[in-house]
């Protein structure tokens, strides 16, 4: 028998994870990030950039109202976001393919420390300024000809890996 939202046996949990969205502008992606973030029990979402389209009517379609459940805010300037992340002493994990990135299975998830998962713009990825402050840079190993995937799909895989590790600590 298929279970409904009301009768699943999933344990409700919150994890010290903040998704940091570097100039993500597609409303479908924004709504989906709220939905997947809520499903994995994240604490909040920070959007970096000017004129982030947080129009509730359009976001609600993909977020299924989870944008009402997850605290979120916009920081317009990258340097201000960097200052906040460093001041609050996050373990900063950038999700980006680089010459030094490691497969997602090889990252370390520190005990008793907040994690900031940096995800990048749909076209350009994570900016160099944010990559420069990352404690770890990780990628998702792929086996086809394509070397990238949609930001929400990649974030889903990363949150699955990180939350499972935090659940074991």
Residue 25 lies in a domain: yes
Residue 146 lies in a domain: no
Q: What integer pLDDT is reported at residue 64 of this predicted model? A: 87
Q: What integer pLDDT is reported at residue 5 of this predicted model? A: 74
Q: What integer pLDDT is reported at residue 49 of this predicted model? A: 97
Residue 75 lies in a domain: yes
Q: What integer pLDDT is reported at residue 153 of this predicted model? A: 97
Q: What integer pLDDT is reported at residue 56 of this predicted model? A: 75
Residue 6 lies in a domain: no
How would you class 130 by CB atoms within 10 Å of its CB: exposed for 0-12, middle for 13-18, buried for 19 or more? buried
List the CATH number of the domain containing 24.
3.40.1280.10
**Tally of structural domains, the chain:** 1
Strands annotated E in the chain = 17-22, 44-48, 72-75, 91-95, 102-103, 115-119, 136-139
Q: What averages of pLDDT result for each successive group of 10 residues across the chain (169 residues)? A: 81 93 95 96 97 84 88 97 97 97 95 95 96 98 91 98 89
Residue 114 lies in a domain: yes
pLDDT in tens, 29-66: 999 999 999 999 999 999 999 999 888 777 888 888 88
Residue 168 lies in a domain: no
Specify the pTM. 0.94
Domain boundaries, position 44? 14-139
Residue 159 lies in a domain: no
Residue 84 lies in a domain: yes
């Amino acid at each position: 028998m298929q279970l409904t939202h009301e009768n699943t046996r999933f344990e409700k949990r919150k994890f010290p994870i903040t998704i940091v969205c570097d100039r993500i502008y597609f409303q479908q992606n924004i709504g989906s990030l709220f939905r997947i973030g809520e499903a994995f029990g994240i604490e909040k979402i920070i959007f970096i950039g000017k004129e982030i389209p947080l129009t509730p009517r359009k976001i609600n379609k993909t977020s299924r109202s989870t944008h009402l459940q997850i605290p979120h805010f916009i920081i317009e300037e990258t340097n201000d976001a960097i200052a906040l992340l460093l001041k609050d002493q996050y373990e900063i994990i950038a999700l980006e393919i680089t010459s030094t990135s490691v497969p997602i299975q090889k990252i370390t998830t520190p005990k008793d420390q907040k994690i900031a998962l940096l995800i990048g713009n749909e076209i350009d990825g994570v900016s160099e300024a944010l990559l420069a402050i990352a404690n770890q840079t990780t990628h998702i190993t792929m086996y086809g000809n394509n070397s990238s995937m949609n930001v929400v799909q990649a974030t889903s895989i990363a949150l699955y890996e990180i939350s499972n590790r935090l659940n074991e600590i």
